[in-house]
Structure formats: structure tokens, C-alpha cells
């Protein structure tokens, strides 16, 4: 009887060997990220500008074009000079904006602040403080709706115009030069609405991903590993706990100065 079963057993083994790769192939591919992104990360997804994570330190060229296909400025300008523009999104925040301003003031650094209308209406004093310190304002919409490009023209115009009104209401002399789409989700329609208000759409070439709170050292190292002439660096002073960004900022500034970089406001 044992001899009679032997062909069946061997046949079963062969069948298992043949079918195993088939069933494995039916399994879903493993995700590169094993956990769900935190809410803050979902609110500020990374856009397309940053094309490489390879170190750009001391590079003689930027990893992206100066302006993208829908008219969004990605670089600070300056013809390849070692300039860098620091930009801060989602403020003003009653705690972190003041801390960022103090650090910039102590080091004589100019920056661009991308203002969200809702917190700005609550803290107009911080909008005035930003302008008083010589920084430039950027319209970051009223509600930070990352799906704004899918809305009607009237909704888009309202998001931008209302934020302009809040900033100018806080300080009529505000220097408002730029527009930044929530989540970096730029498109022709929202860029056109910004241009109608005399605003230059402003993206970035280095995303520190500080909104994900990876740690101050990780925020700093991202800047240093990707720095290039004309870099526009995305940071945050609002929208949540930005203590890591505040902690990283002094080393970022000092390290870039040591590397020969000058801090600028992007060209319009």
C-alpha cells in the first residue's frame, strides 16, 4: 500500500511547488509605509518639486527648474548664487511664530511667512510683528483646503481675497508678494487667481517634512543634505506643534552661513 501512495504524495508535492508562487503573487504588495500617515502629514502632502534626495551640498545647480509648468516659482532666483530662502507655513501661531521671529531677528535673517487666514484673523498682532521685522507675507488661503484646485472659481477667489483682507486689515503696509497653495497642490486655475491679485505662486525645492515631526536633527539634516543654490526651504511655524522646527532652526541657519549661503526673499 505504501508503494501505491508514493506517486500521489510526490504528485502533491510537485503541485504545491508549482502553485505556491501563484498564490504569493495574488497577495497585495507590501506598502512602503507600514502605518497610516498622521493627520498633519495628510494636511500638508509633499508636492512634486523635490526630485532627488541625493545630497546637493556645494552643488553648482538646483535639482529643479526655476518655474514649473503651471507658473509656480520653485527657486529663489539669483542666477545660481548661493542663496537660500526660508519659508514658514500655516501660521501665525501664538507660541511658535514668536519663537521663530526671535531666532530670525537675533541672526539677522529675512524670511517669507505663508499666512493662513483663520489664525491670522485671531492673531493680527503676529501678522504685524512679521511685517515689522521686515519679512515678506505669502497668501496661504483662509482654510488651507488642499483640494482647492477642484473648487469653483468663486470659491478659489474668495479663499485668496479674504486672506488678503485679513493681512491688510492687520497691517495696511503689509508686503504681500506670494501665494502658496495648501499642500503644494498648485494648478493653473488657482495660480491664475493668485496672479490676478498680483501674487507670485511660490513652491519650494526642499521639503523638510517638519510637519511630520521627525525630530529636530532630521529636519536639520534634510536641509543640509539637499541644500543647493537658490533653494526654497519649506518649514512651518503654525498648524500644530512646531517645537522641533524651532529647535532645528538655529543649527539650520548657522550651518548654512558656514556653507557660504545668504538668506533672501525669492524673486517675484
CA dist., res. 64 & res. 51, Å (int): 7
CA dist., res. 266 & res. 263, Å (int): 10
Residue 89 catalytic? yes
CA dist., res. 87 & res. 206, Å (int): 10
CA dist., res. 227 & res. 263, Å (int): 13
For cell 491679485, name the residue: 197
HSE (side-chain half, CA atoms, 13 Å) at 126: 26
Distance of CA 28 to the CA centre of its chain: 31
Catalytic residue among 3, 89, 90, 140: 89
Q: Which residues contact 249 (CB under 8 A, 6 or more apart)?
A: 100, 103, 235
Q: Which of 226, 217, 227 is nearest to 249 (CA)?
A: 217
Q: Which of 58, 2, 37 is nearest to 213 (CA)?
A: 37
Catalytic residue among 123, 145, 236, 237: 236
Three-state secondary structure readout of 82-138: CEEEEEEEEECCCCHHHHHHHHHHHHCCCCEEEECHHHHHHCHHHHHHHHHCCCEEE
**Hey, which residues are catalytic here?**
89, 236
Amino acid at each position: 500500500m505504501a508503494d501505491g501512495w508514493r506517486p500521489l504524495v510526490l504528485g502533491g508535492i510537485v503541485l504545491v511547488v508549482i502553485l505556491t508562487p501563484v498564490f504569493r503573487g495574488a497577495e497585495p504588495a507590501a506598502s512602503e509605509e507600514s502605518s497610516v500617515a498622521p493627520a498633519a502629514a495628510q494636511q500638508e502632502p509633499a508636492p512634486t518639486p523635490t526630485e532627488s534626495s541625493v545630497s546637493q551640498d556645494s552643488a553648482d545647480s538646483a535639482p529643479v527648474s526655476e518655474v514649473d509648468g503651471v507658473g509656480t516659482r520653485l527657486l529663489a532666483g539669483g542666477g545660481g548664487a548661493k542663496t537660500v530662502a526660508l519659508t514658514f507655513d500655516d501660521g501665525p501661531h501664538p507660541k511658535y511664530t514668536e519663537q521663530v521671529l526671535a531666532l530670525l531677528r537675533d541672526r539677522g535673517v529675512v524670511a517669507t511667512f505663508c499666512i493662513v487666514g483663520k489664525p491670522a484673523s485671531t492673531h493680527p498682532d503676529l501678522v504685524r510683528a512679521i511685517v515689522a521685522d521686515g519679512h515678506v507675507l505669502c497668501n496661504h488661503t483662509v482654510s488651507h483646503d488642499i483640494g482647492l484646485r477642484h473648487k469653483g472659481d468663486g470659491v478659489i477667489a474668495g479663499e485668496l481675497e479674504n486672506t488678503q483682507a485679513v493681512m491688510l486689515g492687520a497691517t495696511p503696509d503689509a508686503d504681500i508678494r506670494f501665494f502658496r497653495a495648501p499642500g503644494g497642490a498648485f494648478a493653473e486655475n488657482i495660480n491664475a487667481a493668485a496672479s490676478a491679485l498680483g501674487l507670485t505662486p511660490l513652491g519650494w525645492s526642499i521639503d523638510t517634512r517638519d510637519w511630520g515631526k521627525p525630530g529636530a536633527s532630521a529636519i536639520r539634516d534634510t536641509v543640509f543634505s539637499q541644500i543647493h543654490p537658490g533653494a526654497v526651504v519649506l518649514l512651518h511655524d503654525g498648524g500644530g506643534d512646531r517645537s522641533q522646527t524651532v529647535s532645528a532652526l538655529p543649527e539650520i541657519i548657522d550651518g548654512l552661513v558656514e556653507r557660504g549661503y545668504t538668506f533672501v526673499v525669492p524673486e517675484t
